[in-house]
């Protein structure tokens, strides 16, 4: 029987804690949507709820990436999780006392969004501290699978909880799962992002410090010739020099201005043509995927009717596909070319968008065909997102991981609302299937544009 490496035990515990926390968060999010819907029966209230749930995490990303690079990522994750749990606890106590203001729900949604915006980039930046480079694809695939399974289960379990428990008790479930995740994070031996020392939250774990972690410590890196003591230079000039120059230049901003440090991260991206072009393609592609994410309920209503089970079945098809896709990525474990994988998956997603549009244009209202398109789209998504994450984890210097992933997080958070603003109004002017045909065609154009922009040997 093959013996697990120490990092595998640590990663398993880390993922287990985050899975518990994410499930608790999903249950509460479903309960909040249920509460606002049935308490107000108002489209305006749901709009405010949506803004409160998405806008704070987008704005806080300006700082969260800096915090993830400046401070111990373990504590960034713990404090974010703790803040979300505390907000849930306070709201639970208000509900127990009989105070059930709808504005309290909006406030706690904003707080929870802030916590998620702080936690997301830190988790993405922490994974390559734990996982050896050759295992990043498989490990990110497993994490993607966990998240997608939880997305699939949360509405189902949340619906059962809403029926069986008062809403304050569901908030307490979130508190309990967050507490479990925090306890695991406190106990885990993790390599520090700057020193490479392996420690739990209470000091150096001497036994863990002797682990063969799978990648060089900070001392080994220093012996290998990486010189981080270069004279400070202007960031505009350093943007086109090696990572060491970025480190020296950004050191001048350390402790002076968080916005300045975030700007250093943007200049790092701007000075790395490959990363800049990759993020540009990712942003455009995500915006063009927005109509599938936001117009599906309207598409279903216009083609299949008002039955609620259609929407439920569509969501299950999509998230089941995403869960399977994550498992396939984890099983595959490695790709010969990250860029070829991203481009191939982009072609598949564009084709599936055009097939969905074709079904609508041809007025083929057979729901099983529609559900199959969503399922295969779901299978493709983890290959796309996981490969992009791994590319950045491998090619961005560890001192900029937090800020670069914060930018990626901002792109992902802003793409769907922006795409909705651009394309959703068209659905009232032309048929949705023609909107999908337009976005699918534009996806192909983006892939053609990127053909010579991104190297194939990565």
CATH, residue 106: 1.20.1250.20
Q: What is residue 185's predicted lDDT score, i.e. its pLDDT? A: 92
* The last residue of a domain, from among 152, 174, 194: 194
Task: Give strand pairing partners of 203.
Answer: 200
Domain-located, residue 75: yes
User: Are residue 147 and residue 11 in the same domain, yes or no?
Assistant: yes
* The last residue of a domain, from among 164, 194, 224: 194
- The two tokens of residue 101 are 């203001």
Q: Pick from 232, 230, 174, 169: which is nearest to 28 by CA?
A: 174
Question: Which secondary structure element, helix H or strand E, spans residue 7, and what is its range?
Answer: helix 6-40
Mean pLDDT by 10 residues, the chain (458 residues): 74 91 84 75 71 82 82 91 91 87 86 88 87 84 83 74 82 91 91 77 59 44 34 36 52 57 79 84 84 75 74 81 86 78 88 90 87 90 86 82 82 77 78 88 86 63
User: Are residue 165 and residue 307 in the same domain, yes or no?
Assistant: no
Task: Classify residue 98 as left (phi > 0), alpha (psi -120 to 50) or beta.
Answer: left
For residue 432, CA distances in Å to 342, 438, 439, 440 come to: 27, 10, 11, 12
Domain-located, residue 226: no
User: Are residue 405 and residue 293 in the same domain, yes or no?
Assistant: yes
Domain-located, residue 209: no
Domain-located, residue 255: no
User: Are residue 190 and residue 281 in the same domain, yes or no?
Assistant: no
User: Are residue 185 and residue 297 in the same domain, yes or no?
Assistant: no
Rounded distance between C-alpha atoms, residue 41 and residue 38, angstroms: 6
User: Are residue 168 and residue 283 in the same domain, yes or no?
Assistant: no
User: Are residue 50 and residue 136 in the same domain, yes or no?
Assistant: yes
Q: DSSP readout, 283-330?
A: HHHHHHHHHHHHSHHHHHHHHH-S-HHHHHHHHHHHHHHHHHHHHHHH
Domain-located, residue 61: yes
User: Are residue 317 and residue 428 in the same domain, yes or no?
Assistant: yes
Rounded distance between C-alpha atoms, residue 241 and residue 256, angstroms: 23
Q: What is the largest CA-CA distance in the chain?
A: 67
Domain-located, residue 395: yes
User: Are residue 303 and residue 184 in the same domain, yes or no?
Assistant: no
Domain-located, residue 235: no
| DSSP 8-class letter at 165 | S
* The last residue of a domain, from among 176, 194, 212: 194
User: Are residue 279 and residue 420 in the same domain, yes or no?
Assistant: yes
Q: What is residue 352's predicted lDDT score, i.e. its pLDDT? A: 92
Domain count for the chain: 2
Query: Measured between alpha carbons, how far apart are the two ends of the chain, in Å?
Result: 34
Q: By residue range, what is the domain housing residue 425? A: 272-458
Residue 288 CA, chain-centre distance (Å), reads 18
User: Are residue 306 and residue 453 in the same domain, yes or no?
Assistant: yes
Note whether 156 and 30 are within 8 A (CB): no
Q: What is residue 295's predicted lDDT score, i.e. its pLDDT? A: 75
Q: DSSP readout, 18-31?
A: HHHHHHHHHHHHHH
Domain-located, residue 264: no
């Amino acid at each position: 029987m093959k013996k697990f490496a120490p990092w595998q035990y640590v990663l398993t515990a880390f993922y287990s804690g985050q899975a518990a926390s994410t499930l608790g968060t999903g249950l509460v999010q479903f309960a909040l949507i249920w509460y606002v819907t049935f308490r107000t029966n108002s489209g305006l209230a749901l709009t405010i709820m949506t803004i409160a749930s998405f806008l704070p995490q987008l704005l806080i990303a300006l700082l969260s990436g800096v915090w993830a690079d400046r401070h111990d990522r373990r504590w960034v994750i713990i404090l974010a999780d703790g803040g979300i749990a505390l907000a849930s606890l306070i709201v639970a106590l208000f509900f127990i006392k009989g105070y059930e203001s709808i504005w309290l729900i909006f406030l706690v949604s904003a707080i929870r969004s802030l916590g998620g915006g702080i936690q997301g980039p830190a988790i993405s930046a922490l994974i390559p501290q734990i996982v050896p480079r050759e295992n990043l694809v498989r490990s990110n695939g497993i994490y993607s699978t966990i998240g997608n399974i939880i997305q699939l289960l949360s509405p189902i379990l949340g619906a059962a909880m809403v029926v069986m428990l008062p809403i304050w008790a569901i908030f307490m479930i979130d508190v309990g799962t967050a507490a479990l995740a925090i306890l695991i994070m406190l106990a885990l031996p993790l390599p520090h992002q700057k020193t490479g020392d392996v420690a739990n939250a209470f000091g150096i774990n001497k036994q863990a410090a002797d682990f063969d972690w799978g990648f060089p410590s900070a001392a080994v890196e220093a012996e290998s010739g990486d010189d981080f003591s270069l004279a400070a230079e202007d960031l505009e000039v350093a943007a086109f020099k090696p990572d060491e120059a970025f480190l020296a230049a950004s050191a001048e901003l350390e402790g002076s201005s968080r916005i300045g440090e975030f700007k250093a991260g943007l200049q790092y991206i701007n000075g790395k043509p490959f990363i800049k072009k990759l993020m540009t393609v990712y942003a455009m592609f995500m915006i063009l995927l927005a109509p599938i994410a936001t117009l599906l309920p309207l598409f279903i209503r216009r083609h299949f009717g008002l039955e609620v089970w259609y929407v439920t079945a569509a969501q299950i098809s999509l998230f089941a596909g995403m869960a399977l896709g994550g498992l396939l990525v984890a099983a595959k474990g490695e790709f010969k070319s990250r860029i070829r994988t991203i481009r191939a998956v982009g072609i598949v997603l564009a084709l599936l968008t055009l097939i969905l549009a074709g079904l609508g244009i041809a007025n083929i209202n057979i729901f099983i065909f529609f559900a199959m398109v969503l399922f295969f789209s779901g299978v493709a998504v983890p290959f796309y997102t996981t490969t992009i994450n791994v590319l950045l984890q491998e090619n961005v210097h560890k001192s900029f991981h937090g800020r670069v992933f914060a930018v990626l997080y901002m792109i992902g958070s802003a793409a769907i609302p922006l795409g909705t603003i651009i394309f959703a109004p068209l659905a009232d002017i032309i048929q949705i299937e023609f909107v999908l045909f337009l976005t699918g065609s534009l996806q192909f154009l983006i892939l053609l544009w990127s053909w010579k922009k991104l190297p194939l040997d990565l």
